[in-house]
Amino acid sequence: MKNFNWGGRELSIRQCDDVIKLTSYQDLSTRPKEENYKYRLLLPLGRYSRSKFGTLRSHVLLTIFCVLFSGYLVFPASGQENNALTQMKQLKIGDTIPQKLWRTPLQAVRYPDGKQRITLNDYRDKKLVILGFWATWCGSCTSAWPKISVLQEKFNEDVQFLLINATQTKDSKERIDRTITQQQPAANLLFLHRDSIFQYVYPHKILPHYVWLDGNGKLLATSSSKEITEKNIRAVLNGDLSAFHLKEDNLLYDKKKALLEQMGIIDTKSIKSSSLLTGYLTGLGSVYGSEPYHTGERFFYVNYPIKFLYQEAFNTALAGVHPNEFVFDDGVDKSFIDFIASTDYDALYSYELIIESATRDRAMEYLRRDLMQQFNVSVRRDIRNTEVLVLTGDKQSNAPKTSAKGTTLGYLARQLSTMTGRLVEADGNAAQHVVAPLELENLAGSDLLQLQRVLKKHGIRSEIKNLPRAHAVFYNTVHAASGKVVESIN
């Protein structure tokens, strides 16, 4: 079974010079009986710390079942395939592009005045040029275009975005044209293709990838789409990169190999079973899935929020439960609640399980046990009455519509629910009704009454109902839960 899902976040294996230290033996009673538990190892990664869970952030929790192991982290030197471009220097933060690259022609896919070729020199009057590398198969790339268009318009005098589809994406001109036609990006976005020069000068492995250059061609930063914000652009224009999260792709990362193998810890062929839980790994992107591995199966999640790992491990309890319906017994530490609600880089985790003859259900049993061992938190499902905003139709008609433009009430309900943290649903009979698109940016944090008033102005009917809905109750596994709910994610 194989299942890979690449995301837009940067993630990679962090280099560490510390010696692995054997810290303790551990009781096997909580593990599946047929497995031969051996050692619990802690690998120092001193960069991470946060409240009670600083222990996790400052260590990689590694549980290995094997015969032999190595005691040092060994990392191979980075390399690059030889090609005709190797005579050209690959640039790092602080480097300035050579003068000849200013006039290197780039082929335009769509340009406002009909040009077929442009150069960086055309934008030498800008204070900031942002090269955005993208591909037609990268959903995180295309979904950022509306945001980029707004920023291009707002900073048009000082900033220029150039969206580059490089040759390494293997996208054809026809596929690029089709994607642009389907996505219908704003006219102020400039698209380029068939680049092989800049993809080499600014090497990367994970898309989307953004290169920030000042007016002199100096490389200021590289980033994912998460850093493409008005706040960051203003900060960079003012010379402030202090809060900027750099994207540094690990060019040697191979998603087909175990994390343990690539961290230089052990010959993975000798592993009978192992589980690895780490914090954020720089430069690897986001990927999860499973595949045959030597004589067993490998399950892996690289750089995902802890909430996602809990949703995978405790699917029976969490399936279909909105985060607004997460509740926490008073035995659950506040730091865990902050982590479960966060998608920040310091709240991302990686998990890998290698096991012989394992089904997915068996693998999720291991994941549940490892999460409970680390956080002392489990989840149960409960049915409770809660307030729900139910969209029932629009002022014109209750009949389904077929307009090609607009959005369905079902999709609108999901958008509102995600944006506001409130439980919003579409009535079953009205879920496919199509209504005109709404301006949703100013609705974040609105309560149900505020949402109802806004929707009414747009002719959308809704009702606030008290309905039984599934809740996920997080409770402490060490101390008996009191039953008193002290906090929920709103």
Amino acid 472: pLDDT: 95
Backbone angles phi, psi at 339, to 5 degrees: -65, -45
pLDDT tens readout for residues 114-127: 778 899 999 999 99
Q: Which amino acid belongs to residue 218?
A: K
pLDDT tens readout for residues 193-229: 988 899 999 999 899 999 999 999 999 999 999 899 9
* CB-based contact 201:90 (threshold 8 Å): yes
Name the more confident of 455 and 66: 455
Q: Is residue 66 pLDDT above 70, yes or no?
A: no
| Mean pLDDT, the chain, whole residue set | 77
pTM beyond 0.85: the answer is: no
Q: Per-domain residue ranges for the chain?
A: 21-75+252-375, 85-237, 383-472
* Highest mean pLDDT, choosing among 44-53, 301-310, 424-433: 301-310
Strand 460-476, strand 326-329: pairing: parallel
CA end-to-end span of the chain: 37
Name the more confident of 266 and 444: 444
Q: Which fold has domain 85-237?
A: Glutaredoxin (3.40.30)
* Highest mean pLDDT, choosing among 28-42, 66-80, 393-407, 417-431: 417-431
Amino acid 18: pLDDT: 30
Q: Which residues contact 15 (CB under 8 A, 6 or more apart)?
A: 73, 75
Of the given ranges (147-151, 248-252, 306-310, 416-420), which has the lowest mean pLDDT?
416-420
Query: Exposed e or buried b for every residue in 262-291, given b needs 16+ CB within 10 A?
Result: bbebbebeebbbbbbbbbbbbbbbbbbbbe
CA 366 – CA 41 distance, rounded (Å): 17
Amino acid 272: pLDDT: 75
Which residue matches tokens 């079974």? 1
Amino acid 87: pLDDT: 65
* Residue 414: pLDDT band with limits 50, 70, 90: confident
Which residue matches tokens 């589980």? 275
Tokens encoding 358:
């394992």
CA 75 – CA 269 distance, rounded (Å): 18
